[in-house]
Amino acid sequence: MKKLILILLALTFVVNPMPLEAHVESYMDSSVPVPINPDKGGQSSGNRSPAQVPISCYYSEGELTFTFSAPLGIVECEVVRVSDNEVFDAMFYAVSGGSDSLYVSTNADDYEITLTCADGTIYYGEYSIE
């Protein structure tokens, strides 16, 4: 019985030699970071540092992935394609260490992101697809 378990365990590493964390990292390596700011246009009126923004964002192949470093509760996400004002939206339940994704578009254009947290705090982001 022990030999069978050892063989099955060895086969698991042969079939899937890369741990899950490495898959996530390789996905993130192909993604483009999208800066998220507490004020529209990235111009902060206060003394907030980027470390105080509890949301990070990455774009890859038409999908935005948001990662949360604090428990924010319900977060409303709205992404607007600037040229035609098409809106892509979703609601996330943000927990510390969690992430959520939203498919937006692969069309070349400028996009604006608005994230509204349950406590009324609003974060913004902008990116372009060329």
The mean pLDDT of the chain is 80
Identify each DSSP E strand in the chain by its residue range.
32-34, 36-37, 55-60, 63-68, 73-81, 86-94, 99-103, 109-117, 122-129
Contact between 101 and 66 (Cβ < 8 Å): yes
CA distance from start to end of the chain: 58
Q: What is the mean pLDDT of residues 94-103?
A: 96
* Residues 82-107, mean pLDDT to the nearest whole number: 96
Average pLDDT over residues 94-113: 96
Q: What is the pLDDT of residues 26-85, one digit of tens each?
A: 344 578 999 999 977 655 445 555 558 999 999 999 999 999 999 999 999 999 999 999
Three-class SS of residue 93? strand
Question: What ranges do the domains of the chain cover?
Answer: 32-41+52-129
H-run or E-run covering 120: none
Q: What does the pLDDT read at residue 30? A: 76
pLDDT recorded at residue 85: 97
Rounded to an integer, the average pLDDT of 19-32 is 48
Identify the residue with better confidence: 39 or 104.
104
Rounded CA gap, 34 and 42, in Å? 12
The H-assigned helical ranges of the chain are: 2-15, 20-29
- Which CATH architecture fits 32-41+52-129? Sandwich (2.60)
Instruction: Indicate whether this model's pTM tops 0.75.
Output: no
Q: Report, as an integer, the average pLDDT of 107-127.
A: 96
Highest mean pLDDT among 5-14, 40-49, 110-119: 110-119
Count of CB atoms within 10 A of residue 48's CB? 12
